Amino acid sequence: MKTRGRGPVLSIANRLAMLFGAITLGVIAVVYVYVVPPLESSLRNQRLRSLAATAKASVGQVRSDVVNAVDVKVLNRDVGAASDAANARVTLLIINHTPAGVQAVPTFDSTTQVEIRDLQFAVALDAATSRKIATGYESGDAGRLAEAAVPIRVKKQVGQVAVFSVPLSDVEDNVALIRRRILAAGGLALVGALLAGYGVATALSRRVRRLEVSAGRVAGGDFDARFPVDSADELGQLAMTLERMRIQLAELDSARKRFIATASHELRTPIFSLSGFLELLADEDLDDQTRRSFIQEIREQVDRLGKLATDLLDLSRLEAGSLELRPEQTDIATICRMVAGEFAPAAAQQDAELRLAVPDSPLDATCDPERLAQIMRILIDNALRHTPDRTAVVVSAEPNGTRVRVAVTDSGPGIKRTELDRIFEPFYTSDDARGSGLGLAIARELAGRMDGRLGAQSAPGRTTFSLELPA
């Protein structure tokens, strides 16, 4: 796989397989380093300890022969016997104490070798100097040897040293066998890890690819493409999150289409009406009264267009978060009286009573006074449009704990229970309602931006919209 302007990029499957392989290889290396060398050292030390114990137990007759200065043939025979008993090569060295130092010279060897040139028998010098059994390693023509030197005292001085030696080839063979088996097992584990890693990574890649394909379709506007949730792991959680995102995008897209369709309809209706009235006004035979009636209708349609445009602008600014609010301590009672006074002529025109139930004393809340007045205008206008003639609309305000509650109640037919949850949606109106359906959506958005809550309760003959604001 390659990316534009960059070098080749390994797939997730390859990278995970390589990661699994690297981890396994690292584990094999750690096991090899921490097992093989210590094991080899432990086996060699064990061999030395065993050889030293065997040498100590087998040297008795040779020591006696040296002390008693027996015949050479007898000593040679007993050296061979000690070799057989210890299952080791036995070399008897005479110790010469000279001004230049201590020298060890081989005199008898169980192999009957006359001249020994490949071995230096350094352990013999150590034993002669320390007067104790000395052990060590030495390499000869036959390979590496383990040696144990037993000092033999003659007249309170180490006169000779018996060196017992065994080859370490069996230890090295065992270590080599273990090394090969570790490497073989490690190789199998490495191959298995690579295959398992590639398999797991391939499965993960397929799942990621499915999410990628769905994401591409959603990005292209196909909101019917679902994100498959096939497990509860991290990828499953991601798929669930993406699926929720898809549903929200689908809802937003649906709302956008409804918004465009409804806005187009709402704008087209007054525009067609204006076009029709203008054509009628072009008729020169119209009498003055009809002409004035048409002009009044045109004014109403222009006002409707202006209000619709303002509502659309407010709603778009609210949804975009660009509408600036200026919260301050506001006397709610004063705002209620002011806005109610604005609607007194409209209420009188339909012979409705607009009642105020607000305290005479200040009732303060934290809000933007201009936007609160806008909410109140929306609620009172909505109540007057739905309440029958010669009924009352009640505007009330009262403290409610740490909040202030403002309510507008009308005596209209009420809102159906199935519609009660939708009345705050943009452009939603009941079948017989008049208006754009934007007012209540704007009112709720404004209430939420001021940390308030706008709700509705309705029953036949009584509907109440209540606004709660922080005191």
As a whole number of angstroms, the distance between CA 459 and CA 445 comes to 24
Assess if residue 434 is contained within a domain: yes
Average pLDDT of the chain to the nearest whole number: 82
Quote the tokens at residue 435.
């208006």
Average pLDDT of the segment spanning 352-368 = 88
Mark whether 259 and 362 lie in a shared domain: no
What's the number of CA atoms in the CB half-sphere (13 Å) around residue 217? Answer: 15
Count: domains in the chain: 4
What's the pLDDT score for residue 12? 66
As a whole number of angstroms, the distance between CA 159 and CA 171 comes to 33
Q: What is the pLDDT of residues 204-256, one digit of tens each?
A: 788 888 888 888 888 888 878 887 787 777 778 888 888 888 888 887 777 67
433: domain range?
Answer: 324-470
Assess if residue 64 is contained within a domain: no
Mark whether 258 and 344 lie in a shared domain: no
What's the pLDDT score for residue 150? 93
Mark whether 339 and 451 lie in a shared domain: yes
Torsions phi, psi of 103, nearest 5? -125, 145
221-244 as b/e: b if 16+ CB within 10 A = eebebebeeeeeeebeeebeebbe
Q: What is the pLDDT of residues 414-458, one digit of tens each?
A: 888 878 878 887 766 665 555 566 778 888 888 888 889 998 888
Average pLDDT of the segment spanning 373-393 = 87
Assess if residue 302 is contained within a domain: yes
As a whole number of angstroms, the distance between CA 213 and CA 224 comes to 13
Mark whether 141 and 198 lie in a shared domain: no
Assess if residue 14 is contained within a domain: yes
Question: Which of 218, 245, 280 lies at the terminal end of a domain, its last residue?
Answer: 218
What's the number of CA atoms in the CB half-sphere (13 Å) around residue 462? Answer: 5
Assess if residue 4 is contained within a domain: no
Mark whether 276 and 241 lie in a shared domain: yes
Contact (CB, 8 A) for 81 and 71: no
Mark whether 46 and 182 lie in a shared domain: yes
In angstroms, what CA-CA distances link 253 with 215, 222, 259? 16, 10, 10
Mark whether 358 and 462 lie in a shared domain: yes
pLDDT exceeds cutoff 80 at 332: yes
274-291 as b/e: b if 16+ CB within 10 A = beebeeeeeeeeeeeeee
Mark whether 338 and 360 lie in a shared domain: yes
Mark whether 344 and 455 lie in a shared domain: yes
> How many CB atoms are located within 10 Å of the residue 17 CB?
22
Average pLDDT of the segment spanning 12-21 = 73
384: left (phi over 0), alpha (psi -120 to 50) or beta: alpha
Assess if residue 436 is contained within a domain: yes
As a whole number of angstroms, the distance between CA 129 and CA 126 comes to 5
Assess if residue 228 is contained within a domain: no
Mark whether 268 and 338 lie in a shared domain: no
Mark whether 298 and 346 lie in a shared domain: no
Assess if residue 226 is contained within a domain: no
As a whole number of angstroms, the distance between CA 149 and CA 165 comes to 9
Mark whether 74 and 139 lie in a shared domain: yes
Torsions phi, psi of 137, nearest 5? -120, 150
DSSP letters, 432-446, are T--S-S-HHHHHHHH
Q: What is the CATH number of the domain that holds 267?
A: 1.10.287.130
Dihedral, CA of residue 268, residue 270, residue 276 and residue 279, to nearest 10: -100
